[in-house]
């Protein structure tokens, strides 16, 4: 048997973090014609490197197979667009960006973030591997290059467009199988006195809040600040500051600079590293014990759905996110327990969730069928979705979130 090796240091990966069994790619939504065909399932067996401590999923599926045509459009989340706007305001003020500056976003999706840069009169460029999503950005007037970033492409693009004062790589760092080459690509895009920001779901929060549904094949790495520092150091980048964010159940936004121009790290860097040490994330042993926690989350959801079925109640879903597909496949939930789900993304309408084959409808289906309970699968958008679903109280529907703990409200 071939033992997978660490994508950061090359050591053999022999330690299990959590094994979620087999699951289909989380964004491989099916058409009706595909329901009677075979589906490919891949392992969701996450390891922790005994040498450098990077928590990672082996490269079971090539990135090109996942991201070249992508079903996720950031602009469908109003709160995420507002998050991006606040980030741009912060970065412009902090770095003194103006009309002479240049901003590059890697994995720029449909222009949800760079539209705010453009509106401030600052030159910007998006780099997005999914051609269908990049086209949506271009329709907004955002100059976008279709490419996967590595050292070679970063060097080529910066040669054509210039070095950036700010490079944003928000919620993409975990999505690349060759994380060191990607970091070197970010450095190649960046001016020698420029700043790189990265937003990542924080491994510490994933563990503490039992957020195992954020594990899926397009998330190759699960990062702490400690391991993020180690990856960036391979590319000549130093973390100078970090913010703790509430997005995605708890994220980090790191501010980094080329090592030769980076000053000493802020007190916030020391604080987060201390928190990680206190939780044991500086040792292999400190990463243990997650599997029983995951089982408890699954059991709570299944018991809730089975009890509602016995009572003759109907449960529908809201959203069709990747995280929901991990959760539903791991729990073995099918349409007998979750009748259907709805989503604002028109691309998904009339399709079916991978593995579970639960149908996806437009949001209007909720009012048409009036389910007794609505399971919010993108629980990280709980506040936004609760507001959107206020009208369902008219027929007495109750809302449910599966994580961090199952809650009916």
**How many Cα neighbours within 13 Å face the side chain of 408?**
12
Number of other residues whose CB lies within 10 A of the CB of residue 23: 22
120-130 pLDDT, tens digit per residue, is 999 999 999 98
324-380 pLDDT, tens digit per residue, is 999 999 999 999 999 999 999 998 999 999 999 999 999 999 999 999 999 999 998
Average pLDDT over residues 279-294: 94
User: Two tokens at 306?
Assistant: 């089975």
Q: At what angle do helices 225-234 and 267-278 cross, to 10 degrees?
A: 120
Q: Is 100 exposed, middle or buried (0-12, 13-18, 19+ CB in 10 A)?
A: exposed
Q: Over pLDDT 70: what percentage of the chain?
A: 96
Average pLDDT over residues 220-235: 98
This prediction's pTM: 0.89
Are the C-beta atoms of residues 151 and 184 closer than 8 Å to each other? yes
Quick one: pLDDT band at residue 59, thresholds 50, 70, 90?
Answer: confident
Are the C-beta atoms of residues 150 and 157 closer than 8 Å to each other? no
Quick one: pLDDT band at residue 78, thresholds 50, 70, 90?
Answer: confident
For residue 60, the model assigns a pLDDT of 85
Is beta strand 221-222 parallel, antiparallel or unpaired with respect to 315-318? unpaired
Tell me the H-state helices in 279-350: 290-310, 322-331
For the chain, which domains are there?
Answer: 67-287 (3.40.50.150), 290-408 (3.40.50.720)
Q: Is the pLDDT of residue 71 over 60?
A: no
CA 54 to chain centre: 17
Are the C-beta atoms of residues 210 and 404 closer than 8 Å to each other? yes
**How many Cα neighbours within 13 Å face the side chain of 16?**
11
Quick one: pLDDT band at residue 61, thresholds 50, 70, 90?
Answer: confident
User: What are residue 407's DSSP bridge partners?
Assistant: 401
CA angle 330, 367, 75 (to 5 degrees): 65
Peptide bond just before 404 cis, omega within 30 deg = yes
Distance CA 346, CA 337 (A): 24
Are the C-beta atoms of residues 315 and 305 closer than 8 Å to each other? yes
DSSP 130-174: -HHHHHHHHHTT--EE-----HHHHHHHHHHH--EEEEEEETTGG
> Where is 45: in which H helix or E strand?
strand 42-48
> Where is 221: in which H helix or E strand?
strand 221-222
Q: What three-state secondary structure class fits 308? A: helix
Are the C-beta atoms of residues 173 and 190 closer than 8 Å to each other? no
User: Two tokens at 64?
Assistant: 């090109």
Say how many Å lie between the first and final Cα of the chain, rounded.
48
Q: What is the DSSP letter of 342?
A: E
Counting DSSP H helices and E strands in the chain, the numbers are 13, 17
Q: Is the pLDDT of residue 65 over 80?
A: no
179-199 pLDDT, tens digit per residue, is 999 999 999 999 999 999 999
Q: Is 334 exposed, middle or buried (0-12, 13-18, 19+ CB in 10 A)?
A: middle
Q: Is the pLDDT of residue 16 over 70?
A: yes
Unique residue bearing structure tokens 């500086």: 282
Distance CA 353, CA 29 (A): 5
301-314 pLDDT, tens digit per residue, is 999 999 999 999 99
Please name which of 232, 308, 300, 287 lies closest in space to residue 50, comparing C-alpha atoms.
Answer: 287
- For residue 98, what are the contacts with CB-CB under 8 A and spacing of at least 6? 121, 122
For residue 63, the model assigns a pLDDT of 67
């Amino acid at each position: 048997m071939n033992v997978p090796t660490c994508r950061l240091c090359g050591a053999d990966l022999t330690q299990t973090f959590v094994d979620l069994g087999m699951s289909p790619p989380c964004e491989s939504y099916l058409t009706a014609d595909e329901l009677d065909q075979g589906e490919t399932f891949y392992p969701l067996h996450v390891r922790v490197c005994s040498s450098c401590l990077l928590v990672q999923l082996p490269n079971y599926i090539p990135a090109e197979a996942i991201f070249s045509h992508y079903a996720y459009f950031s602009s469908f989340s109003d709160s995420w667009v507002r998050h991006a706007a606040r980030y741009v305001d912060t970065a412009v003020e902090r770095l003194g960006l103006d009309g002479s500056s240049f901003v590059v976003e890697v994995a720029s999706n449909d222009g949800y973030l760079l539209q705010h840069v453009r509106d401030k009169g600052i030159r910007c460029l998006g780099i997005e591997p999914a051609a269908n999503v990049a086209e949506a950005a271009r329709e907004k007037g955002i100059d976008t290059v279709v490419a996967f970033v590595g050292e070679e492409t970063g060097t080529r693009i910066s040669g054509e467009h210039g070095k950036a004062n700010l490079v944003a790589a928000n919620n993409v760092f975990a999505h690349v199988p060759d994380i060191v080459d990607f970091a070197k690509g970010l450095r190649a895009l960046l001016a020698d006195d420029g700043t790189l920001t990265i937003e990542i779901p924080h491994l510490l929060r994933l563990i503490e809040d039992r957020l195992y549904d954020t594990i899926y094949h397009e998330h190759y790495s699960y990062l702490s600040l400690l391991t993020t520092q180690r990856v960036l150091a391979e590319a000549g980048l130093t973390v100078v500051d970090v913010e703790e964010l509430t997005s995605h159940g708890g994220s980090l936004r790191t501010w980094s600079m080329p090592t030769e121009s980076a000053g000493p790290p802020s007190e916030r860097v020391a604080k987060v590293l201390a928190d990680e040490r206190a939780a044991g994330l500086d040792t292999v042993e400190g990463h243990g014990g997650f599997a029983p926690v995951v089982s408890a989350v699954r059991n709570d959801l299944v018991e809730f759905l089975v009890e509602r079925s016995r009572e003759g109640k109907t449960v529908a879903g809201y959203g069709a996110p990747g995280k929901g597909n991990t959760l539903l496949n791991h729990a073995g939930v099918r349409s007998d327990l979750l009748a259907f789900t709805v989503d604002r993304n028109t691309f998904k309408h009339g399709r079916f969730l991978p593995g579970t084959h639960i149908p996806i409808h437009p949001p209007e289906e909720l009012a048409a069928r009036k389910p007794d309970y609505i399971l919010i699968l993108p629980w990280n958008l709980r506040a936004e979705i609760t507001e959107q679903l206020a009208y369902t109280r008219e027929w007495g529907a109750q809302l449910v979130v599966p994580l961090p703990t199952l809650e009916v409200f």
